[in-house]
Structure 1
């Protein structure tokens, strides 16, 4: 009995020792996760994650994601923060800055919040772009800070840098304790780099405007090796455009000119942040972009996220490739793009496939049935939209299978349209025997070949589900 008691004591001592080594509240090592692009995240409570235009700061084992949380009229509601160990499972922590944080925030626009840590003062410092909520004439930077990363932030006010420069889209960069703020100025025609004061609460000096008249916004700065990269977008409102980047051996330059990266609309997204993910095997760089709902007339709260791995053909160049999803392993530091699987979708009654007429890449192009010919306009990707539904995306155009005007009526036309968050672009692949119905989420109606026609170019519509073979489909990877 005495020996058993001694063994028990040794076991308890070992547990206590291990607990001490691990430390209180330390997160378990994250497993690899897959993130689907062009969708919204939901937090651990099931609510939509509102972290638009945001940035990420790693503290201990956790990544903290700060971003815009707007009212339905697009005015400021809060800067919200979420945390995760794996970059997929997000826990809501706090609305760290709200309308009640200061009088001037009661009616305002707060955009692109970024947070860095000041080791000298022990405070987390947030910079933002601030407008008055009714127009975009203020063009001011705003600052807040907190003693804890996800605590309530004290608002320190807004101003134009050095009392004279307009300041719109912004980002921060902490270069081994020296902090910089980069912001669009002069109605977005200039892009200024400022050095911050030692407490990070104000601007010390203008480092330079290296791209006078470039008309760039949405800056995101990062460093890889000995090269600084500045990724930006053009200034075209909500509409996406061609991202470009510049490089330099020092933040003070000399900076290169602009080089295109990604496709002509940056995969329908705008840069928000570039996150280095340092693990046991490597350090990867993850592009974080916003697919703004304003591009299709929706509120900011309906915006989606596009996350892509950045690759580096050389020490001073970068590349972005589209992937429908990415697999992230924060433990090893690896980020892998997952190539899409494309399918031909075949009507049971006719043996013909879903086809975008004329290989069109335009919005509102008709979707009809046609004999299979292997064209990209006949190939479709099924993207998980959550809740058992899919967005069905055409390989040729990158646009979504859509019920025109979100109609709920029988006979509503089926078209392709820029992918958004509308439920008229979300489809359930519902088994019916050996075949499947495609049911529109917004209406509950089925994808239907008009009048069960068997010829080429017969139109496709939505119609009340009735079990007909002209409403039954199969898919074959192609």
Structure 2
């Protein structure tokens, strides 16, 4: 009943969509106050439920931002495309599952990725674009799917799927230019090329191929425009594993596009690009990188994925930079977006006495042991730790390979208790105080016991176990923090 009423109201005011502010729903602020977003975590909506914005995109209508995302079954098959709205980009209220398996027969067995929505001012329709395959790992279809709605967060009518001008299309995005023209940017030619297509005026079909960037081997593309310059940001083709983000620029969507340049670190801070959002306020316009930290990379599911949002910076008109920040400050009223804090997305923790790195076993199982090992290289994800502040003086230490937390089993307070990894929870036995001792040295103390992270008997051997022990200030209880090698 609520949805039917929403649609009736939406049809009555369709001509004004995007011009008049909507009334806030319960749990949404009446005005956009500045907010801080924490990176490298799952987001929750205003009701405390996990937010599913995976692979998604954002469109602003009136004073609201609407975030569309994948909300799949546990096996990654399509279930819903969900939409949330916000005024401050921090507090998100669930609005609707705009597209579901029951929306069309063709969607009953399908996988849909990369939901992006553009508004067509001429037709008054919102047009939803998606990548469509039968299932994960099956690239046989290579199609683009389209659905439309008269209201931004209403039920979308599934139109069809197609291959643009006969090209198999893999990852894709859409971009609406200032003049109202819209473009589909697809990964084509067995994921070797990026092809730019111009859409028809109603955005429902492809009018022409505009240009092709050949041999670039890119996906997860995002396009935005700043001061007359088009930026095309994308990821390498490495499945669920993160890699080096790169970008090209042009003065026209037809190109010529510049040679690709790196941005961020070599794993894009453990993320893959999904969208770049212009945040336009009364004093400035900022550009917010929105990335997915895919849970599939550590043996999880899309539904468990996390997010990395970072401010983009522009050293010159056609260059781009991005640095890691554990938090991001957003003021949608002024348009100011800036990083809060510094450090590294992932760290090595090196024992002072041995110079070796804290490492979990090459296992994703709860209870797998933690020890010291000779410090490795980029592939040694079991030595890469996310140091996640809890805002109360304590941290969780999350190993990149398994995404599990450094844990004192059973909340033991005994000296010599062996440290393990375990699924992250709320227990004090997974919370650690990191105390700066000066000279780059740190003490790491378990909250529940007050005991120190220690290498047993001060051994310098590979495989020596990590334990908790009464703090004595010895070198085997002191740790150097350094950025993990990628």
Correspondences of 1:313-328 after superposition (within 5 Å) = 313-328=315-330
Distance (whole Å) between structure 1 residues aligned to residue 186 and residue 353 of structure 2: 42
Counterpart for residue 207 of structure 1:
210
Q: Is the alpha carbon distance of 1:354 and 1:108 closer, same or farther for their aligned partners in structure 2, counting shifts above 3 Å? A: same
Which residue, out of 118, 139, 159, partners 1:136? 139
Distance (whole Å) between structure 2 residues aligned to residue 171 and residue 222 of structure 1: 11
CA contact (8 A) 1:446 1:471 kept: no
Q: Is the alpha carbon distance of 1:218 and 1:454 closer, same or farther for their aligned partners in structure 2, counting shifts above 3 Å? A: closer
Counterpart for residue 345 of structure 1:
none
Q: Is the alpha carbon distance of 1:38 and 1:356 closer, same or farther for their aligned partners in structure 2, counting shifts above 3 Å? A: farther
SS at match of 1:319: coil
Counterpart for residue 255 of structure 2:
253
Counterpart for residue 73 of structure 1:
75
Q: Is the alpha carbon distance of 1:314 and 1:341 closer, same or farther for their aligned partners in structure 2, counting shifts above 3 Å? A: closer
Counterpart for residue 264 of structure 2:
262
Distance (whole Å) between structure 1 residues aligned to residue 279 and residue 127 of structure 2: 21
Counterpart for residue 40 of structure 2:
38
CA contact (8 A) 2:403 2:423 kept: no
Distance (whole Å) between structure 1 residues aligned to residue 133 and residue 150 of structure 2: 26
Asked whether 1:391 is paired with 2:396, we answer: yes
Displacement after TM superposition at 1:133 (Å):
1.9
Counterpart for residue 61 of structure 2:
59
Counterpart for residue 182 of structure 2:
179
Asked whether 1:438 is paired with 2:446, we answer: yes
Correspondences of 1:24-35 after superposition (within 5 Å) = 25=23, 28-35=30-37
Runs of 5+ in structure 1 lacking a partner?
1-21, 343-352, 370-377
Q: Is the alpha carbon distance of 1:361 and 1:288 closer, same or farther for their aligned partners in structure 2, counting shifts above 3 Å? A: farther
Asked whether 1:358 is paired with 2:355, we answer: yes
Q: Which has the higher strand share?
A: 1
Counterpart for residue 103 of structure 2:
101
CA contact (8 A) 1:144 1:157 kept: yes
Distance (whole Å) between structure 1 residues aligned to residue 41 and residue 172 of structure 2: 24
Distance (whole Å) between structure 2 residues aligned to residue 147 and residue 356 of structure 1: 65
1:333-389 C-alpha deviation (Å, 9 max, x unpaired): 1111112379xxxxxxxxxx96696355977596569xxxxxxxx999852469997
Alignment RMSD (CA, Å): 4.1
Which residue, out of 114, 126, 129, partners 1:127? 129
Counterpart for residue 201 of structure 2:
198
TM-score of the superposed pair, with normalisation by structure 1: 0.77
Q: Is the alpha carbon distance of 1:62 and 1:446 closer, same or farther for their aligned partners in structure 2, counting shifts above 3 Å? A: farther
Q: Is the alpha carbon distance of 1:52 and 1:357 closer, same or farther for their aligned partners in structure 2, counting shifts above 3 Å? A: farther
SS at match of 1:199: coil
Counterpart for residue 7 of structure 2:
none
Which residue, out of 86, 89, 100, partners 1:87? 89
Displacement after TM superposition at 1:392 (Å):
2.8
CA contact (8 A) 1:389 1:427 kept: no
Distance (whole Å) between structure 2 residues aligned to residue 53 and residue 36 of structure 1: 18
Distance (whole Å) between structure 1 residues aligned to residue 69 and residue 259 of structure 2: 29
Counterpart for residue 155 of structure 2:
152
Counterpart for residue 245 of structure 2:
243
CA contact (8 A) 1:354 1:367 kept: no
Displacement after TM superposition at 1:469 (Å):
3.1
Runs of 5+ in structure 2 lacking a partner?
1-19, 345-349, 363-369, 374-382, 435-442
Counterpart for residue 235 of structure 2:
233
| Higher Cα Rg, which structure | 1
Which residue, out of 103, 109, 112, partners 1:110? 112
Counterpart for residue 13 of structure 1:
none
Displacement after TM superposition at 1:427 (Å):
2.4
Counterpart for residue 470 of structure 2:
469
SS at match of 1:233: strand
TM-score of the superposed pair, with normalisation by structure 2: 0.76
SS at match of 1:323: coil
SS at match of 1:358: coil
Q: Is the alpha carbon distance of 1:105 and 1:283 closer, same or farther for their aligned partners in structure 2, counting shifts above 3 Å? A: same
Distance (whole Å) between structure 2 residues aligned to residue 147 and residue 226 of structure 1: 30
Distance (whole Å) between structure 1 residues aligned to residue 132 and residue 359 of structure 2: 36
Counterpart for residue 3 of structure 2:
none
Counterpart for residue 165 of structure 1:
167
Distance (whole Å) between structure 1 residues aligned to residue 151 and residue 393 of structure 2: 38
1:188-214 C-alpha deviation (Å, 9 max, x unpaired): 1111101111111111111111x2121
Query: What is the count of residue pairs matched by the alignment?
Result: 420
Displacement after TM superposition at 1:414 (Å):
4.7
Distance (whole Å) between structure 2 residues aligned to residue 59 and residue 367 of structure 1: 52
Displacement after TM superposition at 1:301 (Å):
0.8
Distance (whole Å) between structure 1 residues aligned to residue 423 and residue 80 of structure 2: 22
SS at match of 2:334: coil
Distance (whole Å) between structure 2 residues aligned to residue 43 and residue 331 of structure 1: 21
Distance (whole Å) between structure 1 residues aligned to residue 445 and residue 358 of structure 2: 26
SS at match of 1:337: strand
Q: Is the alpha carbon distance of 1:297 and 1:249 closer, same or farther for their aligned partners in structure 2, counting shifts above 3 Å? A: same
Displacement after TM superposition at 1:268 (Å):
0.9
1:55-76 C-alpha deviation (Å, 9 max, x unpaired): 0000111110001111111111
